[in-house]
């Protein structure tokens, strides 16, 4: 049986709290660290007592961590667990849409923003004692941009010309030209130890022992793992942010979502990621648990293929959008959770514009608009025609969840009521994506997770048509122009009016009808104190989590 750790004397605790709270010095675009602190955590839950050292929190996830190297990672679980052990230069806080210092304690912009100079902390070190230096940053950048490594987000780094390392604590990112997201792109990605990984080929790296048993510099280190069964992280005493209160973080693997929910409800695990609506509603009100709902990350939307004759006219697409009562759909499909989505730019983003000219729910106006466009039901069979061709098409989707099926069914019935015949069909992903890429579809229902940057151009820019991300194959010269200008702008103030115009144009053109945000709902056992789960991620303040002595198990 594990012995209880005795609550340490106040001094190291206070020091730890002080470190956590200290605002990191910053220039240019940096911001104060706003992470939750231990003291704040204790009072936030209303629980008495100070954070106590020790204890184990158990999480259950759907599959094992496949790699700890984020250049090869594809799933959120991989990234979340990697984040326990590794740190980036700076982290993105989606709530404030600002960067928060991590391995870099400060940064400054030079040459009108063309050069970003990061100053690394001097107290960050790898588990083997080697300090984290700019050599690690340069190495990481090389790997992130390597063609053979082929990182998913490699494209985000393409406007960085090179990384200079004048001394151990300084890393200078030289951009091709200053642009709004330069800072974000430079700081993107976890930093890896050059002294341990340099010299290995990408293939070797992917299959390396390091990828399975990493050596990191984060709040935790991986102490044990059993493939497909679980992982054990123990608190790192050398973490620059101060030793976390918890002793251990145990991750259990179970592939079945319902079993995970049962394990949580029975108290075998303390954290349930991505709970379903039914479980969340049932358990969030229970005093044994706390529920967190993170909005604005993943949204559902319809893509209209504007190259199809039936959907070529913007007013037809607007009419179709007008026939959808999105609020009602959200109530039925998401049981009232989540929020309506009007575009790919989320409310938390700096480029968010409220009040876009998105078609409002108005089935009569929709009918009128279709009549105006020449689509009428001449033969009274319930389906409109024009020039002998019926307004009929397939709405395809590949996602396996009930949300897709239910949404598609609701779209079908609502469009039916204004005389549009829709066939809602689930397709095999392979077939689905082939058809999507080649434009052999009419309408599809897709899921997208918000990027931290404004990636509006990806949706509607003409250069992304045909195998790219502009799946609607929509072209609007004003949209292209606005996006190009925004991309070249050096500051947010300059870019904002362009993004606003681009969003307005897209809302009018309706190549996509955005539906709603699917919330991420997480449940935590109330015995774990200090947990703050928000847009910064599930484990954003894991170092501050604690469990009181009485509530510990082992």
Which residues of this protein are in contact with other proteins, per CB under 8 A? 1-2, 58, 66-67, 72, 74-75, 150, 152, 206-207, 223-224, 226-230, 232, 248, 250, 252-259, 262-263, 265, 268, 278, 332-333, 335, 397-401, 404-406, 426-434, 436-437, 446-449, 458, 464, 468-469, 471, 554
Tokens representing 398 are 């590949």
Strand-pairing partners, residue 173, are 116, 163
Q: Minimum distance between the CB of residue 514 and other proteins, rounded to whole angstroms? A: 13
The rounded distance, in Å, linking the Cα atoms of 22 and 44 is: 20
The rounded distance, in Å, linking the Cα atoms of 451 and 344 is: 9
Judged by beta carbon, residue 238 or residue 405, the one nearer other proteins is 405
Q: Which residues contact 212 (CB under 8 A, 6 or more apart)?
A: 67, 68, 225
Judged by beta carbon, residue 98 or residue 247, the one nearer other proteins is 247
Q: Minimum distance between the CB of residue 99 and other proteins, rounded to whole angstroms? A: 22
Q: Minimum distance between the CB of residue 427 and other proteins, rounded to whole angstroms? A: 7
Q: Minimum distance between the CB of residue 183 and other proteins, rounded to whole angstroms? A: 21
Neighbours of 212 (CB within 10 A): 15
Q: Minimum distance between the CB of residue 405 and other proteins, rounded to whole angstroms? A: 7
Q: Minimum distance between the CB of residue 377 and other proteins, rounded to whole angstroms? A: 26
Q: Which residues contact 224 (CB under 8 A, 6 or more apart)?
A: 231, 232
Judged by beta carbon, residue 6 or residue 258, the one nearer other proteins is 258
The stretches of 86-240 forming alpha helices (DSSP H) are 134-144, 182-187, 194-197, 202-206, 209-212
Tokens 């928060």, residue located = 100
Q: Are 386 and 374 in contact (CB under 8 A)?
A: yes
The rounded distance, in Å, linking the Cα atoms of 350 and 497 is: 11
Burial class of residue 285, CB neighbours in 10 A (0-12, 13-18, 19+): exposed
Judged by beta carbon, residue 312 or residue 332, the one nearer other proteins is 332
Inter-axis angle of helices 477-488 and 492-509, nearest 10: 160
Which residue spans within 319-411 are E strands per DSSP? 339-340, 385-386, 389-390, 392-397
Q: Minimum distance between the CB of residue 540 and other proteins, rounded to whole angstroms? A: 23
Q: Minimum distance between the CB of residue 187 and other proteins, rounded to whole angstroms? A: 19
Judged by beta carbon, residue 142 or residue 427, the one nearer other proteins is 427
With left for phi above 0 and alpha for psi between -120 and 50, is residue 251 left, alpha or beta? beta
Closest Cα partner for 415 from 374, 447, 375, 386?
A: 375
Neighbours of 409 (CB within 10 A): 15
The rounded distance, in Å, linking the Cα atoms of 170 and 167 is: 5
Q: Minimum distance between the CB of residue 258 and other proteins, rounded to whole angstroms? A: 5
Judged by beta carbon, residue 389 or residue 554, the one nearer other proteins is 554
Judged by beta carbon, residue 32 or residue 232, the one nearer other proteins is 232
For strands 443-449 and 392-397, give the pairing: parallel
Which residue spans within 351-391 are E strands per DSSP? 385-386, 389-390
Judged by beta carbon, residue 206 or residue 373, the one nearer other proteins is 206
Which residue spans within 191-241 are E strands per DSSP? 220-226, 230-235
Q: Minimum distance between the CB of residue 440 and other proteins, rounded to whole angstroms? A: 14
The rounded distance, in Å, linking the Cα atoms of 320 and 510 is: 10
The rounded distance, in Å, linking the Cα atoms of 237 and 53 is: 12
Closest Cα partner for 519 from 276, 326, 302, 301?
A: 276
Q: Minimum distance between the CB of residue 276 and other proteins, rounded to whole angstroms? A: 9
Judged by beta carbon, residue 230 or residue 242, the one nearer other proteins is 230
Judged by beta carbon, residue 442 or residue 501, the one nearer other proteins is 442
Tokens 């025609």, residue located = 385
Q: Minimum distance between the CB of residue 192 and other proteins, rounded to whole angstroms? A: 17
Q: Are 544 and 38 in contact (CB under 8 A)?
A: yes
Q: Minimum distance between the CB of residue 138 and other proteins, rounded to whole angstroms? A: 25
Judged by beta carbon, residue 131 or residue 399, the one nearer other proteins is 399
Judged by beta carbon, residue 10 or residue 152, the one nearer other proteins is 152
**CA dihedral of residues 260, 266, 269, 275 (deg, nearest 10):** 40
Judged by beta carbon, residue 5 or residue 400, the one nearer other proteins is 400
């Amino acid at each position: 049986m594990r012995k209880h750790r005795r609550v340490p004397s106040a001094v190291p605790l206070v020091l730890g709290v002080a470190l956590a709270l200290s605002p990191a010095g910053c220039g240019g675009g940096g911001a104060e660290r706003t992470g939750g602190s231990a003291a704040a955590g204790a009072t936030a839950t209303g629980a008495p007592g100070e954070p106590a050292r020790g204890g184990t929190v158990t999480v259950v996830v759907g599959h094992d961590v496949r790699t700890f190297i984020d250049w090869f990672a594809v799933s959120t679980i991989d990234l979340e667990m990697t984040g326990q052990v590794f740190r980036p230069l700076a982290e993105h806080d989606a709530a404030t849409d600002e960067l928060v210092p991590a391995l870099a304690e400060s940064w400054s912009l030079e040459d009108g923003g063309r050069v970003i100079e990061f100053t690394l902390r001097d107290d960050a070190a790898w588990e083997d004692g080697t300090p984290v230096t700019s050599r690690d940053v340069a190495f990481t950048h090389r790997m992130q941009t390597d063609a053979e490594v082929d990182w998913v987000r490699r494209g985000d780094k393409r406007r960085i010309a090179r990384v200079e390392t004048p001394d151990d604590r300084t890393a200078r990112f030289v951009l091709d030209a200053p642009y709004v997201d330069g800072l974000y792109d430079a700081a993107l990605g976890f930093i890896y130890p050059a002294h341990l990984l340099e010299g290995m080929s990408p293939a070797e790296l992917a299959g390396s022992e390091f990828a399975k048993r990493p050596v990191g510099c984060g709040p935790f280190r991986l102490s044990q793992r059993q493939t497909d069964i679980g992982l054990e992280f123990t608190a790192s005493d050398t973490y620059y942010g101060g030793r976390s209160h918890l002793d251990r973080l145990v991750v259990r693997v179970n592939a079945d979502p319902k079993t995970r929910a049962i394990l949580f409800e029975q108290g075998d695990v303390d954290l349930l990621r991505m709970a379903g609506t039914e479980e969340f509603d049932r358990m969030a009100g229970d005093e044994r648990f706390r529920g967190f709902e993170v909005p604005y990350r993943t949204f559902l939307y319809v893509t209209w293929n504007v190259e199809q004759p039936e959907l070529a006219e913007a007013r037809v697409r607007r009419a179709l959008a007008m026939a959808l009562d999105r609020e009602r759909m959200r109530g039925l499909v998401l049981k009232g959770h989540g929020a309506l989505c009007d575009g790919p730019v989320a409310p938390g983003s700096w480029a968010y514009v409220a009040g876009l000219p998105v078609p409002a729910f108005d089935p009569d106006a929709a009918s009128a608009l279709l009549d105006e466009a020449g689509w009428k039901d001449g033969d009274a069979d319930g389906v409109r025609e024009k020039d002998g061709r019926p307004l009929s098409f397939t709405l395809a989707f590949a996602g396996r969840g009930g949300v897709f099926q239910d949404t598609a069914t609701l779209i079908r019935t609502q469009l039916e009521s204004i005389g549009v015949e829709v066939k809602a069909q689930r397709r095999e992903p392979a077939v689905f994506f082939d058809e999507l890429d080649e434009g052999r579809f009419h309408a599809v229902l897709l899921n997208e997770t918000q990027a931290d940057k404004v990636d509006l151009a990806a949706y509607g820019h003409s250069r992304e048509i045909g195998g790219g991300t502009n799946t609607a194959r929509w072209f609007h010269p004003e949209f292209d122009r606005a996006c190009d200008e925004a991309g070249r702008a050096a500051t947010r103030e300059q870019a904002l009016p362009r993004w606003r115009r681009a969003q307005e144009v897209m809302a009018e053109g309706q190549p996509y009808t955005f539906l709603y945000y699917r919330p991420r709902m997480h449940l935590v056992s109330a015995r774990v104190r200090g947990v703050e789960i928000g847009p910064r991620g599930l484990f954003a303040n894991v170092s501050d989590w604690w469990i009181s002595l009485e509530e510990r198990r082992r």
